[in-house]
Amino acid sequence: NGTESASETLFERIIAREIPADIVYETDTTLAFRDISPQASTHVLVVPKARHRTVADLAAADPGLLAEVVATAAKVAELEGLHDGYRIVFNTGPDAGQTVFHVHAHVLGGEQLGHFGR
Ligand code: 5GP
CATH of domain 10-109: 3.30.428.10
Cα four-point dihedral sign 107, 110, 115, 118: negative
The domain limits of the chain are: 10-109
Q: Is the pLDDT of residue 6 over 70?
A: no
CA of 50 to the centre of ligand 1 (A): 17
Task: Output the pLDDT for position 30.
Answer: 98
CA angle 104, 30, 82 (to 5 degrees): 70
User: For 81-91, what is each residue's pLDDT tens digit?
Assistant: 999 999 999 99
Cα→Cα distances 80→44, 69, 75, 112, Å: 10, 16, 9, 15
- ipTM score above 0.95: yes
Q: Is the pLDDT of residue 100 over 90?
A: yes
* N-term to C-term CA, the chain: 19
Task: Output the pLDDT for position 5.
Answer: 52
Whole-number average pLDDT of the chain:
93
* Banded pLDDT at 45 (limits 50, 70, 90): very high
* Banded pLDDT at 116 (limits 50, 70, 90): confident
Cβ within 8 Å of residue 53, ≥6 positions away: 101, 102, 103
Ligand 1 pocket, mutate which of 14, 36, 106, 107 (most atoms under 8 A from CB):
36
